[in-house]
Amino acid sequence: MASGPDADDVEGEVPEGLSLGMEPAPRSRSPWFSARQIVGYALPLLAVPVGLLVLLWWLVSADGREPTMPDIGQIIRFDSFVTRELAAEDCGLSIDSVKRTGGNRYRVAASARVPGEAHVWLLAHGEEVAGLWWLQLPELPTKTTETSWSVNVMLGGGHQQGDQYGIALVAVDASIHRVLEVEWARSMQNRERPMMLPPGLCQAAVVQVHRQR
Protein backbone atom coordinates (compact mmCIF):
# COMPACT_ATOMS: atom_id res chain seq x y z
CA MET A 1 0.00 0.00 0.00
CA ALA A 2 1.40 3.31 -1.01
CA SER A 3 1.89 5.70 1.75
CA GLY A 4 2.43 9.47 1.66
CA PRO A 5 5.72 11.10 2.39
CA ASP A 6 6.87 11.37 5.95
CA ALA A 7 6.40 14.74 7.66
CA ASP A 8 10.16 14.86 8.14
CA ASP A 9 10.67 14.47 4.43
CA VAL A 10 8.50 17.47 3.57
CA GLU A 11 10.54 20.53 2.86
CA GLY A 12 9.29 24.06 2.67
CA GLU A 13 7.78 26.77 4.84
CA VAL A 14 4.77 26.35 7.02
CA PRO A 15 1.86 28.20 5.40
CA GLU A 16 0.69 31.36 7.15
CA GLY A 17 -1.97 30.63 9.71
CA LEU A 18 -0.70 27.13 10.49
CA SER A 19 1.26 26.14 13.51
CA LEU A 20 3.57 23.28 14.16
CA GLY A 21 2.25 23.10 17.69
CA MET A 22 5.22 24.96 19.23
CA GLU A 23 4.74 28.09 21.43
CA PRO A 24 7.17 30.97 20.71
CA ALA A 25 9.92 31.41 23.25
CA PRO A 26 9.16 34.25 25.70
CA ARG A 27 11.17 37.43 25.14
CA SER A 28 13.70 37.89 27.91
CA ARG A 29 13.68 41.25 29.77
CA SER A 30 16.85 43.06 30.67
CA PRO A 31 17.32 43.55 34.39
CA TRP A 32 18.72 47.06 33.67
CA PHE A 33 16.75 50.25 32.95
CA SER A 34 17.10 51.84 29.57
CA ALA A 35 19.03 55.09 29.25
CA ARG A 36 15.80 57.01 28.63
CA GLN A 37 14.24 55.64 31.81
CA ILE A 38 17.34 56.52 33.86
CA VAL A 39 17.29 60.11 32.60
CA GLY A 40 13.56 60.36 33.24
CA TYR A 41 13.96 59.24 36.86
CA ALA A 42 17.17 61.19 37.56
CA LEU A 43 16.18 64.65 36.35
CA PRO A 44 13.41 65.28 38.92
CA LEU A 45 15.66 63.96 41.70
CA LEU A 46 18.54 66.24 40.68
CA ALA A 47 16.37 69.35 40.35
CA VAL A 48 15.93 69.76 44.11
CA PRO A 49 19.61 69.65 45.18
CA VAL A 50 20.66 71.80 42.23
CA GLY A 51 18.04 74.39 43.17
CA LEU A 52 19.24 74.39 46.78
CA LEU A 53 22.85 74.86 45.67
CA VAL A 54 21.89 77.85 43.49
CA LEU A 55 19.96 79.40 46.39
CA LEU A 56 22.90 78.86 48.75
CA TRP A 57 25.30 80.46 46.28
CA TRP A 58 23.00 83.48 45.93
CA LEU A 59 22.76 83.94 49.69
CA VAL A 60 26.52 83.60 50.23
CA SER A 61 27.41 86.02 47.44
CA ALA A 62 24.67 88.56 48.18
CA ASP A 63 26.91 90.73 50.35
CA GLY A 64 29.66 90.70 47.77
CA ARG A 65 27.56 91.89 44.83
CA GLU A 66 28.03 95.37 43.49
CA PRO A 67 25.11 97.66 44.35
CA THR A 68 22.73 98.14 41.47
CA MET A 69 22.86 101.68 40.18
CA PRO A 70 19.40 103.13 39.69
CA ASP A 71 18.09 103.82 36.23
CA ILE A 72 19.00 107.40 35.36
CA GLY A 73 15.40 107.98 34.28
CA GLN A 74 14.16 107.15 37.77
CA ILE A 75 16.21 109.78 39.58
CA ILE A 76 14.10 112.61 40.98
CA ARG A 77 15.48 115.99 40.06
CA PHE A 78 14.34 119.38 41.25
CA ASP A 79 15.59 121.48 38.33
CA SER A 80 12.15 122.94 37.64
CA PHE A 81 11.60 124.08 41.24
CA VAL A 82 12.39 127.65 42.22
CA THR A 83 13.04 127.90 45.96
CA ARG A 84 14.10 130.99 47.80
CA GLU A 85 16.92 130.60 50.31
CA LEU A 86 16.49 132.44 53.57
CA ALA A 87 19.23 134.22 55.43
CA ALA A 88 21.22 132.25 58.00
CA GLU A 89 19.73 134.23 60.88
CA ASP A 90 16.21 133.29 59.76
CA CYS A 91 16.77 129.62 59.00
CA GLY A 92 19.39 127.19 60.22
CA LEU A 93 19.84 123.41 60.35
CA SER A 94 22.29 121.33 62.38
CA ILE A 95 23.11 117.63 62.80
CA ASP A 96 24.59 117.62 66.28
CA SER A 97 25.64 113.97 66.70
CA VAL A 98 25.41 110.53 65.12
CA LYS A 99 25.90 107.56 67.43
CA ARG A 100 25.88 103.91 66.52
CA THR A 101 23.50 101.92 68.71
CA GLY A 102 24.19 98.46 67.24
CA GLY A 103 24.50 96.84 63.82
CA ASN A 104 23.29 99.27 61.16
CA ARG A 105 21.26 101.34 63.61
CA TYR A 106 22.27 104.91 64.42
CA ARG A 107 20.85 107.60 66.67
CA VAL A 108 20.84 111.05 65.05
CA ALA A 109 20.45 114.21 67.12
CA ALA A 110 19.53 117.27 65.08
CA SER A 111 18.13 120.74 65.58
CA ALA A 112 16.68 123.49 63.46
CA ARG A 113 15.54 127.08 63.48
CA VAL A 114 13.03 127.32 60.65
CA PRO A 115 10.08 129.48 59.65
CA GLY A 116 6.58 128.16 60.20
CA GLU A 117 6.03 127.15 56.56
CA ALA A 118 9.16 124.95 56.43
CA HIS A 119 9.07 121.15 56.29
CA VAL A 120 12.11 119.24 57.60
CA TRP A 121 13.25 115.89 56.16
CA LEU A 122 16.18 113.54 56.81
CA LEU A 123 17.96 111.77 53.95
CA ALA A 124 20.99 109.46 53.63
CA HIS A 125 23.15 107.69 51.08
CA GLY A 126 26.11 105.31 50.81
CA GLU A 127 29.49 106.02 49.26
CA GLU A 128 28.74 103.89 46.18
CA VAL A 129 25.94 106.23 45.13
CA ALA A 130 27.28 109.57 46.35
CA GLY A 131 25.17 112.41 45.05
CA LEU A 132 21.93 110.41 45.16
CA TRP A 133 19.83 110.42 48.31
CA TRP A 134 17.05 108.34 49.87
CA LEU A 135 14.48 109.44 52.43
CA GLN A 136 15.04 107.90 55.85
CA LEU A 137 12.03 109.08 57.83
CA PRO A 138 8.73 110.83 57.27
CA GLU A 139 8.66 114.57 57.81
CA LEU A 140 10.16 115.58 61.14
CA PRO A 141 7.66 117.45 63.30
CA THR A 142 8.26 121.17 63.80
CA LYS A 143 5.99 122.35 66.58
CA THR A 144 7.91 125.57 67.07
CA THR A 145 10.39 127.57 65.05
CA GLU A 146 13.21 126.14 67.16
CA THR A 147 13.03 122.38 67.31
CA SER A 148 15.33 119.48 68.13
CA TRP A 149 15.02 115.77 67.36
CA SER A 150 16.60 112.49 68.36
CA VAL A 151 15.72 109.84 65.79
CA ASN A 152 16.83 106.35 64.75
CA VAL A 153 17.99 105.57 61.22
CA MET A 154 19.39 102.50 59.43
CA LEU A 155 22.59 102.90 57.43
CA GLY A 156 23.54 99.98 55.21
CA GLY A 157 21.74 97.64 52.87
CA GLY A 158 19.93 98.25 49.61
CA HIS A 159 21.46 101.24 47.83
CA GLN A 160 23.43 102.17 50.93
CA GLN A 161 26.66 100.23 50.45
CA GLY A 162 30.19 100.71 51.72
CA ASP A 163 31.68 102.11 54.92
CA GLN A 164 31.08 105.83 54.31
CA TYR A 165 27.62 107.35 54.60
CA GLY A 166 26.17 110.79 54.23
CA ILE A 167 23.27 112.12 56.31
CA ALA A 168 21.47 115.31 55.31
CA LEU A 169 18.88 117.46 57.01
CA VAL A 170 16.86 119.73 54.70
CA ALA A 171 14.09 122.28 55.20
CA VAL A 172 11.89 122.64 52.12
CA ASP A 173 8.85 124.65 51.05
CA ALA A 174 5.36 123.24 50.42
CA SER A 175 5.89 122.39 46.73
CA ILE A 176 8.94 120.18 47.31
CA HIS A 177 7.37 118.82 50.49
CA ARG A 178 4.50 117.39 48.42
CA VAL A 179 7.01 115.55 46.19
CA LEU A 180 8.78 114.09 49.23
CA GLU A 181 5.46 112.96 50.71
CA VAL A 182 4.69 111.00 47.53
CA GLU A 183 8.14 109.43 47.57
CA TRP A 184 7.83 108.45 51.22
CA ALA A 185 4.52 106.71 50.42
CA ARG A 186 6.27 104.84 47.59
CA SER A 187 9.04 103.77 49.95
CA MET A 188 6.45 102.11 52.17
CA GLN A 189 5.70 99.85 49.19
CA ASN A 190 9.42 99.21 48.45
CA ARG A 191 9.19 101.44 45.37
CA GLU A 192 11.42 104.26 46.54
CA ARG A 193 13.46 106.22 44.02
CA PRO A 194 16.75 108.07 44.48
CA MET A 195 16.80 111.83 44.29
CA MET A 196 19.15 114.72 44.06
CA LEU A 197 19.43 116.67 47.29
CA PRO A 198 16.28 118.82 47.39
CA PRO A 199 16.84 122.60 47.34
CA GLY A 200 15.96 124.01 50.73
CA LEU A 201 14.99 127.22 52.46
CA CYS A 202 18.22 126.91 54.48
CA GLN A 203 21.57 125.50 53.60
CA ALA A 204 21.32 121.72 54.14
CA ALA A 205 23.16 120.23 57.12
CA VAL A 206 25.28 117.32 55.86
CA VAL A 207 27.59 115.04 57.87
CA GLN A 208 29.70 112.05 56.86
CA VAL A 209 29.61 108.88 58.93
CA HIS A 210 32.28 106.17 58.85
CA ARG A 211 30.92 102.78 59.77
CA GLN A 212 33.36 100.58 61.65
CA ARG A 213 32.93 96.86 61.00
Residue 57: per-residue pLDDT: 65
DSSP assignment of 59-100, as one string? HHHGGGSPPPPPPGGG-B--TT-------TTT-EEEEEEEEE
Is the whole-model pTM more than 0.75? no
Helix (H, G, I), strand (E, B) or coil at 191: coil
Residue 60: per-residue pLDDT: 54
Per-residue pLDDT of the chain (213 residues; tens, 9 = 90+): 555 555 455 455 555 554 445 555 555 555 556 667 666 766 677 677 777 777 776 555 544 444 444 454 588 888 888 778 888 888 999 999 999 998 888 999 999 999 988 999 999 988 767 688 999 999 999 877 789 999 999 887 655 556 789 999 999 999 999 999 999 999 888 888 889 999 999 999 999 998 766
* Helices within the chain (DSSP H only): 35-61, 174-187
**CA 75 from centre of chain:** 17
Supply angle C-alpha 56, 104, 127, rounded to 5. 90
Residue 158: per-residue pLDDT: 54
| CB within 8 Å of 152: residues ≥ 6 apart | 101, 105, 106, 107, 108
| Strand-pair partners of 98 | 108
